[in-house]
Structure 1
Amino acid sequence: MAKQHPKDYPGLKARFFHSAATVGDSSLFVWAGEQAGLPKVHDSPEKRKFTNTIQHFTASSGQWFARETTGTPPLGVMGYSCAAINNHLYYFGGYCNHDNCFHNSITRLDTISLQWRELEPTDATRPVMRRGCGGMLSFEHDGVHYLLMIGGIGSKPAVQLQQNRYIETMHERSSGRWRTNEHSMYNLSLEKWDNVSVTGQCIPPADGFVLEKISNTRAILFGGIIQDDKTEAIASNDLYLLRIDLSLTTVCIKKPEAIDKWPVGRYNHAGTIIVAGLLCPLLVICGGMNNNNDKLDDCWMFDTTQCTWTTWTKVGHSFSKRWAHSLSVFTFSPRCFWIITVGGAFVSRREVTSDELVQYPYITVMKSLVFNKEQVIVQDIPVSNSRQYQSMYFQQLQLGRTHWLEYQKQKKEVQVWEGHQLTEYKTSLKEQELEIQAIKQQLRNEQDHSHQLTIKIEKKEAEHYLELQEKDQKYHHQLQEIKAEKELEIQRICFQLQERLESEKAAKDLEIQNCHHWLQEKEQEMQEYYHHFDQLKGKEAEIQRCHFQLEEQEREKAKTAQEIQNYHY
Structure 2
Amino acid sequence: MRWRAQHTTAVVGEALYCWGGDQEGLVRSHDSPTKRQCTSAIDAFNLLSGVWSSQPTRGTPPLGIIGVSCTTINNNIYYFGGWCGHDTCYHNSLNCLDTLTLQWKELQSTNNNSVTKRGLGGMIVMGSEGEPQQLLVIGGVAPISTITQYHQFECNKMTGADDLVSTNEQNIYNLSSGQWTIPSVSGQCCPPTSGFIIEKINHNKGIMYGGAVTDSGITIPTNSIYLFQLSHNTINWESLKQGVIPNDGLWPKEREGHASTIINGVSTSPTLVVIGGLDNRHQPVNDCLLIDTNQYNWMKIPLPDSVTCRYCHTVSSFVFDPNHVFLTIVGGAVKREQKHVGGGVMEWFDTPVTDPNITMVVELVFNDGQWSVGPVLDSVNIPLLYEQILKERRKELNEFMTDKEKELQVINKSLRHDLQVARINNQSLQEALLETQSLSVSSAAALMEKDEMILRLESQLQEAKSLYYEKDEEKQFVEFTKASGEYKGKVIKLQDQDFDEKIHLEDQGIMKKEKIDFTLHEQDQFSIKGTDSVGVQFNYMIPSMEKRMLTLETQLLETKTLLTKRKRDQEDSPHSDNSKKLKTDELEESVDEKQIMTGEYEKLKAIVADNELYLAEVLKGKTQAEEQLKEKQIIIDDFKTTVSEKDAYISKLLKEKSQQQERITSQEEQSIKETSSVDVQFNYLIPSM
Please state which band the TM-score falls in when normalised by the shorter chain. Answer: 0.5 to 0.7
Q: Describe the superposition over 1:388-435 as per-residue Cα deviations: whole angstroms up to 9, x where unpaired.
A: 22211112234456677899989x99xx9xxxxxxxxxxxxxxxxxxx
Mapped pair 1:384 → 2:383 = no
Alpha-carbon distance between aligned partners in 1 of 2:300 and 2:262, rounded to the nearest angstrom? 15
Given candidates 358, 367, 390, the residue that maps to 2:353 is 358
For the 8 Å contact 1:333–1:403, the answer to whether it is kept is no
SS at match of 2:90: coil
Name 2:370's counterpart in structure 1: 375
Q: In the superposition, relative to structure 1, how do residues 69 and 255 fare at CA in structure 2: closer, same or farther (>3 Å)? A: same
After superposition, where does 1:116-135 map in structure 2 within 5 Å?
116-123=104-111, 126-135=113-122
In structure 2, the CA distance between the partners of 1:402 and 1:352, relative to structure 1 (3 Å rule), is: farther
- Deviation >6 Å, runs of 4+: 402-410
Matches within 5 A, 1:184-199: 184-199=171-186
Q: 1:215 matched to which residue of 2?
A: 202
Structure 1 residue 279 displacement after superposition: 4.5
1:335 to 319, 323, 338: 323
1:235 to 221, 230, 235: 221
Report the counterpart of residue 294 of structure 2 in structure 1. Answer: 305
1:65 to 31, 44, 53: 53
The question of 1:53 aligning with 2:70 is answered: no
Q: Aligned pair 1:271/2:260, yes or no?
A: yes
2:457 corresponds to which residue? none
Structure 1 residues 46 and 199: alpha-carbon distance in aligned structure 2, compared to 1, 3 A threshold: same
Name the structure 2 match of 1:22.
11
8 Å contact kept, 2:301–2:372: no
Does the C-alpha gap of structure 1 residues 278 and 376 become closer, same or farther in structure 2, counting only changes over 3 Å? closer
Residue by residue, what CA displacement relative to the aligned partner does 1:247-279 show, whole Å, maximum 9, x if unpaired?
222211122399531111000000011134544
Asked if the contact 2:156–2:165 (Cα under 8 Å) also holds between the matched residues in 1, the reply is yes
5 Å-filtered alignment, 1:329-478, equals: 329-349=317-337, 356-382=351-377, 383-385=379-381, 386-400=383-397
Number of aligned residues:
395
Identify if the C-alpha distance between structure 1 residues 316 and 192 changes in structure 2 by more than 3 Å, giving closer, same or farther.
Answer: same
- Relative contact order higher in (CA < 8 Å, ≥ 6 apart): 1
Equivalent in 269, 272, 289 of residue 278 of structure 2: 289
Matches within 5 A, 1:139-178: 139-140=126-127, 143-156=131-144, 157-169=146-158, 171-172=159-160, 174-178=161-165
Opposite residue 344 of structure 1, the aligned amino acid is G
1:109–1:115 CA contact under 8 A, matched in 2: yes
Distance 1:328 1:158 in 2: 32
Counterpart in the other structure of 1:100: 88
Q: 1:298: how far off?
A: 0.5
Match of 1:564 in 2: none
> How many angstroms apart in 1 are the aligned matches of 2:397 and 2:207?
27
Distance in 2 separating the partners of 1:361 and 1:204: 38
DSSP-derived class of the 1:103 partner: strand
Task: State the AA in 1 paired with 2:235.
Answer: L
1:250 aligned to which of 234, 237, 247: 237
Letter in 2 for 1:255: Q
Displacement after TM superposition at 1:374 (Å): 4.0
8 Å CA contact 1:272–1:329 kept in 2: the answer is yes
TM-score (normalised: structure 1): 0.66
The amino acid across from 1:371 in the alignment is F
Q: Is the 8 A contact 1:127 1:160 kept in 2?
A: no
AA aligned opposite 2:119:
G
For the residue of structure 1 that corresponds to 2:162, the secondary structure is coil
- Taking only the aligned residue pairs, the percentage that are identical comes to 36
* Structure 1 position 41 matched with structure 2 position 29: yes
2: distance between equivalents of 1:239 and 1:404?
Answer: 40
1:27-71 CA distance string (max 9 Å, x none): 100001001221111001110010000000111120111010011
| 2:157–2:217 CA contact under 8 A, matched in 1 | no
SS at match of 1:396: helix
Q: Distance in 2 between matches of 1:267 and 1:93?
A: 19
Contact 1:17/1:324, CA 8 A, preserved across alignment: yes
Greater share of helix: 2
| Counterpart-to-counterpart distance in 1, 2:139 and 2:49 | 37
Show structure 1 runs of 5+ residues with no match. Answer: 1-11, 417-569
Q: Does 1:181 align with 2:177?
A: no
Distance 1:294 1:377, change over 3 A: same
CA drift of 1:143 comes to 2.2
- Tell me, what secondary structure is at the counterpart of 1:346? strand
Q: Please tell me whether the aligned partners of residues 207 and 226 of structure 1 are also in contact (alpha carbons under 8 angstroms).
A: yes
Q: 1:403 to 1:194 in 2, by over 3 A?
A: farther
**Amino acid in structure 1 at the alignment position of 2:98:** D
Which secondary structure state, in structure 1, belongs to the residue aligned with residue 257 of structure 2? coil
Question: Who wins on radius of gyration, i.e. which is larger?
Answer: 2
User: Structure 1 counterpart of 2:390, which letter?
Assistant: Y
Q: 1:212 to 1:406 in 2, by over 3 A?
A: farther
Q: Deviations over 1:450-494 (max 9, x none)?
A: xxxxxxxxxxxxxxxxxxxxxxxxxxxxxxxxxxxxxxxxxxxxx
Structure 2: distance between partners of 1:365 and 1:50: 23
